[in-house]
Structure 1
Amino acid sequence: MPVINRIDSYKDELTAIRRDLHQHPEIGFEEVRTSGIVAAKLEAWGIEVHRGLGMTGVVGVIEGRRGPGRAVGLRADMDALPMEERTNLTYASKIPGRFHGCGHDGHTTMLLGAARYLAETRDFAGTAVLIFQPGEEGCGGARAMLADGLFRRFPCDEIYGLHNAPADEPYRIGIKPGPAMAGADFFDFRIRGRGSHGAMPEHSRDPIIVATALVQSLQSVVSRNVSPLKQAVLSVTQIHAGSAYNIVPEEAVVSGTVRFLDREVNELVRQRMRAIAAGTAAAFEVEIECDIRNVFDVLVNTEDLVEGYLEAARDIVGPDQAYLKTAPVMGSEDFADMLHATPGVYCTIGHAGSVPVHNSGFVLDDGILPVGASLLARIVERRLAAA
């Protein structure tokens, strides 16, 4: 596998960096230690550093030695998940309830590897913009950086990102042209009923009964309102109610997520959810407050740039290991918001292991680190090649 030799020589250091980040995971907008390490590494390599975009985000700027030119952005996410780790690794998380269960420690490390190489060689014309993003896991980190003027302060002609993929073959790089990942809404329905003694439920308007009816009705939205030729997911993932065995509570909360690839489908689902909530409230004589909010847009890869990223991938993993995906996935990624602001492409890189991300037993294969770093460096060299 022809990873860039200079980057391959960093692999022990990259592994050490990644495992240190893994031991000290920080969730969205709390990445103080992580962003500090990133900034210190960039500064040590002679890279111009800017901190505080989107609260804890970091941007590094590298000017090529072959003169002025266009600007290419590279983005990695830094945040961990609010979950326990159960891997038994020697370098497992030291922080209870915090775990790099999605591999963002690896993504950050890959971009650091690319940053060091690009700073040492500077064999390109133009500017490489290195974007270390906080709060990807549903916190709106991309939007926070954009609101802080990311592309106004650091204009990029194109931007590229990546994600590890334990479900794919090791070191296989895949790209889906056009819509590649779903947009996402999160929702909360707060049901306000009437509490009572558990032995006298006739005096209540039981929000738990209402919640169960609401959940059942919500399951009809995709199956009976969305065309079977379209794709959507509606998942109720939380129900909260009650505090004692003998009390019918006053309130219950039903929460979850909607995923979609088409904004018209998204609007249809929202309308039906609100209508069902209103009808359920009327039927049970309770109040239901609806909060449905968008957290990710649909991730759309710029089709004109896909082949260039694919060629860079072929340089690194060979022609048989770089491929075009034919189907989108219903998972979401807030890099989508950056792609709505500037053209770019997002890819996946397979690695050893079969435990999926967001699982307490997920383990990132450190062998992916020089592969991802080489890919990010190579796309800069290809897109900013001197004329």
Structure 2
Amino acid sequence: MSRFDITHGRGAQSAQVPQRFGLAARVADGDWLDERETVDDGAPKLRTTVTEEAARSIISRNTSPDIPFDRSINAYRGCEHGCIYCFARPTHAYHDLSPGLDFETKLFAKPNAAELLRAELGRKSYRPAPIAMGTNTDPYQPIEGRYGITRQILEVCLEARHPVTITTKSDRVLRDIDLLGEMAKLTLVAVGISVTSLDPRLSMLLEPRASSPAKRMSALGKLVQAGVPVHVSIAPVIPSITDEFIEGILEGAAAVGVTSASWIMLRLPHEVAPLFREWLAAHYPDRAGKVMSIVQSVRSGKDNDANFFSRMKPQGVWADLFRTRFRLATRRLGMNEARLELDSTQFRRPAVGGQMQLF
């Protein structure tokens, strides 16, 4: 292998621009090399850059029949966690950027997110329902430590008594445990932490800049102790790579008081499929064929199923096996898939322009 065959410290192995939009292919040139930090005789290292954007709106709406929410907030575009399997990677292509390395190194932040949220919640036409955070990119990825946008959003939601759900792979969520605790008392928040494996080395390959599995399991317990409703998500289950950890993750979560759990089968939409194949070739060449054979067996012979109603419901022998293992383990541990129903009835429009709204 050449020194560029494996990109250390990142999930993706390449930065090719997708061809489905007719964009010009990217090749390694001087500009690309300038973006790499090198050390004597060491592997090249990519720098992370953050572009601040002045967003015009902050609440995204959807009508998908496959997901349990109709609105979401993403304070950041791209995600430094670098999870190779992330289904959100293709969204970077809309910026003429690579769903590969660009997605995890060329990030965008929305510093005006809380201000926009305050304005949107203040509209007379707005009707409250839980806002999902972490549905596209992680609200607690490393740059949240610098920007604090997620915390600002939570502060507005607490003021407005607006319900929020959070999904993350980071124990950085504990930084906001004061706000989450206050919101939990009002039935305004539920937190889901995604745990993919219990092997720190594997985690570093799959999701190189996410919190270690041990830190995520610890965060689950600390949230439980703080009275915050918490859910463990085994997402995704990757056959012949992470499926061996299904029972162990559930047992560890149950041991710290978590009573709600779910699992999601690996999905490989658009450019995620070739990126994942590259990752397999770099790190697990001995089982790459087996992994993709199983993936295709649960997706009607394809790398991915993009159809509504079926895309989140893998079929076949392997899917049935994972589903049965999950069901038996949760039954034995007294866990369930039910999530807390959050309260939207307490909503009050937040102060806009320094003045509280009475109605």
**Fold conserved between structures, TM > 0.5:** no
**TM-score by structure 1 length?**
0.25
**TM-score by structure 2 length?**
0.26
Structure (1/2) with the larger strand percentage: 1
If asked which structure has higher relative contact order (CA below 8 Å, sep 6+), I would say 1
Q: Which has the larger radius of gyration?
A: 1
